[in-house]
Structure 1
Amino acid sequence: MKTNSNFNIKKVQRTSKPAFPTRSSAIKFLTLGAASLTFAAAGCHFVFEEDTCEEPGFSCATPHVGEFCNENLERTIVNCWDYCENGYDIVLDATCTGNAENPCSCRYDTIDGMIGECYDGDFYCLEDGISWCEATGGDYGYYETRSCQDHCTEEFGPEFVSHGACSNENPENPCNCEYDIIDGDMPACTPGEFYCTEAGIEWCVPGGYGYFETRTCTDHCKVEFGDEFVSYGDCSLDNPENPCNCDYDGIDGGMPACTPGDMYCADDATLAVCQDNAYEYVMVDCNDKCLADFGAGFVSEGCFSAVSDNPCGCTNEQ
């Protein structure tokens, strides 16, 4: 921590608050029984508080007030809050240490690049991100303000994303950084975790720490419950135990009963549509449906049963 040679001063009045660290204004210092001195410094008004003492050194009078005795046995009161205040930082903590080299344990709010007394990995949660202590190679580091997404990228790599706001309850991973959902790669996930997508579901399967696998909901039902199960709707976060609404096929070996107008994606190129007159699903090739619904030149870009007016993603290729 960079020490302040004028730590043995007590601020009694602020004359002007600088907008930037480089701004300065005249400061008047007063000592008991001595002439006043004027210095150019960051806009505050201070006065020494001196008295006699018995032995050189530094001690704490209260948790936030220290007493410094110099070689001439002159006593100076150090108010840690004033010592840490520098005109443009917000002080989070100012605790007397009893050490003349570091009289107050100053901890500052998040001003990028400002030197504060913090150790690598110290952090504070903010409403819109995190204040993270970066090591500088010495004893202390400095706080840097980041969004949680930037924090995940900086600390874990570009493949990681934040899955929630900063939380003090998870000091090892306060921004809930997890590997982005890329099939077959090695994300950090717990088996059973999932995310709903337009095409189906991203499901965390066992394997080391687990990895995400992309599935249609129909495939998910068959993998997790058996070949006799089908999906009765799109993926839903409201049903974590059965997000793809998997259920047993209700007709022996055939398609399940349904309500006219229902549909789901059997795979990326096939749409299952409930027929009005049969109350059962019929498989429809998406390219054929695009041709029938929109005419020549239209092709399918995939199955999206949640998009009721264009479930096969029909687009004009011309």
Structure 2
Amino acid sequence: MAERRMMREEEFLIQEDHFRRNAFLIISEMVKMSPKHPSVLVDEILHSIFFLGHIKTPQYSPKDIVSDDNMLNLLKGRYPQPFKLFSSELPKRSPISCVLDMIVHLMGQENEDTIIEELQKLIRQLKEDEAKDLVSSTICVSQKNKDPNSDRYYGVSMSTSGRDPGRIMIAASCLSAWDSYVAGAVMTYYPKKTQKPYFDGTIKLPEQVRCQAFSLSDLREMPPCRSCGNLFGLTTSENREWPYGHCAEAESVSNLLKYEKEVREQAQPKSKTATDENRKKAQESVLKELTNLLKMQKFTWDKHFYTPQV
């Protein structure tokens, strides 16, 4: 009995160490990729990772994550804000979203295959020894139409592990990062996978829009899950429902709608319940859920979302 318990504890420690290893690997890669110092994306990813380390059990401090003293001091000098604010402000998105932005910035949005392959290389390193911490499983590419020359907009699935960190980051993205139509669609179902009786903010993307997800394990095309079908009107025969807002489609479609005004106009919510008043009520319910989740994690939130700056 005691031996079995000891084995379980050792297994838990190994799994938890995956977080530290992956966190350090992501930070190191981002610093390497950063074309100039300091970089807003490195600032953002440091805060996001430090926050996720702070709400883990056991907690990881920035010093636990960046165990190299020289690197720690260098990062503190260049990026003081994440070290000060990781325990009071919320990130707007999870870490791999920042990595994706950096890769797109370096490679150019038109180079889809290269972008996906570059991200896949990092994900494969992160997934060694069956690690799941800070790993995105899918990437999504959206375009306003099927013209190969139209701009591409990317997104990744939430790079969190465990139910509560995922719920926290989905709520944070709804309230601070995503286009309001995408946020409204997700808030329609968040957090229980059941549609709110008083608010339907779901949208239907125009037929000509391309919205294609790929597995970052083997690059195969992934059909939309039932959740994404419900949120964005994507055609699918899949019955599996992931948590609403977890999938790569949410971030990708959000980025599309932020820049393609015509598509956004065509996609606006059609339900009679999608009023400003009902949306506000849905927003308040998401904020309440988020506040409760943070209390459970013993996180004292100052009601600010972190704004990266250098």
What TM-score do the two structures reach when normalised by structure 1? Answer: 0.21
As a proportion of its length, which structure holds more helix?
Answer: 2
**Structure of greater relative contact order (alpha carbons < 8 Å, 6+ residues apart):** 2
